[in-house]
Structures are given as C-alpha cells and as structure tokens.
Amino acid sequence: MLENSDKIKPKVLAVCISDIKGTPKKQMTGAELRPDWGLVGDAHAASGKRQVSLLAIESINKMKEQGVDVGFGSFAENITTQGINLVGLPVGQKLRIGPEAILQVSQIGKECHGRCAVYYQIGDCIMPREGIFAAVIKGGRIKDGDKIEIL
C-alpha cells in the first residue's frame, strides 16, 4: 500500500529551499521545478539523480513525538508530503505534483558520510532512513496543497 492507513489523499504540505547544503530549508509559498535540475534557487539543484528531496510529515511527526522541535524543512527536505509512503515507492516510480510537474524516484534514503548541520541542531537526521530523492522529468510550479499522484 502506497498511501497511509488513514486514506489521506497524497499532497504537498510544504515546499522548502536553502542556499546552503546540509542546513535546514525555509518554507516558500511555492517554487519552480526545472527539468534535470531541481528546485530553482535550492543549493542541491543540479543535474544528477538527487535533484529534489522528499520527506513525509509522518516521519517528521515521529521526531516531534520524541520531543524534538522540528517542522517543515528541518531535515533539509525540499518537499514535505502527507498521505504517501515514500520509502515504499520503488526507484523509477514517477509522481505528478500539481498539474504538470513530474518527478522520478531515483534513490531511497542516503548514506551519510559525516554529520550535517541538521544532525548537530536536532541530534538525529531521519533523511538517511526515511527520505527519498527524485529527478525532475517535467518541470512546473509547485506549491503547498498540490496533489501528488502516483503514475
């Protein structure tokens, strides 16, 4: 099952960018996804397989339940989602976000070679375990509340 057990429709809760890698990102009202690049203005935007990062609010809430004060962008994720089991998606899966943007899952989790600023600020980083990465196949503007569709 790719959606969560509450049958919440998959959607974007937040779009976040940062101009420095490895740091928490700031929530924007929306942003432009550029094909084979990522989110315009984000430090991670570049050609390659890790153009955009996604993390579920359900993962962030696990940290909140442990008493950690975190929110959108705290784990340096570009897109915070709701209602979709991100780590259950296979590499290669395509997702439509909003009316036109299409992402393709390129990596599940990541290996951390060192502790980033997020780890030092929060004491843990869930991106390596529960975040995913995607390449932008088709660009477009995305914003909070946009529907996510598994293609």
Q: What is the pLDDT of residues 110-142, one digit of tens each?
A: 666 566 555 666 666 677 688 899 999 999 999
C-alpha angle 130-36-29 in degrees, rounded to nearest 5: 65
Looking at the 3D structure of the chain, how many domains does it have? 1
- Pairwise CA distance, residues 100 & 126, whole Å: 29
Q: Determine, yes or no, domain membership for 43.
A: yes
33 contacts 140 by C-beta, under 8 angstroms: yes
Q: What is the pLDDT of residues 50-62, one digit of tens each?
A: 999 999 999 889 8
* C-alpha dist (Å) from residue 147 to 13, 14, 26, 101, 129: 10, 12, 21, 11, 24
- Pairwise CA distance, residues 68 & 52, whole Å: 25
* pTM exceeds cut of 0.85: yes
State residue 122's pLDDT score. Answer: 65
Q: Determine, yes or no, domain membership for 55.
A: yes
pLDDT at 6 over 60: no
Q: Determine, yes or no, domain membership for 5.
A: no
- Parent domain of 16: 11-141
Q: What is the CATH number of the domain that holds 112?
A: 2.40.33.20
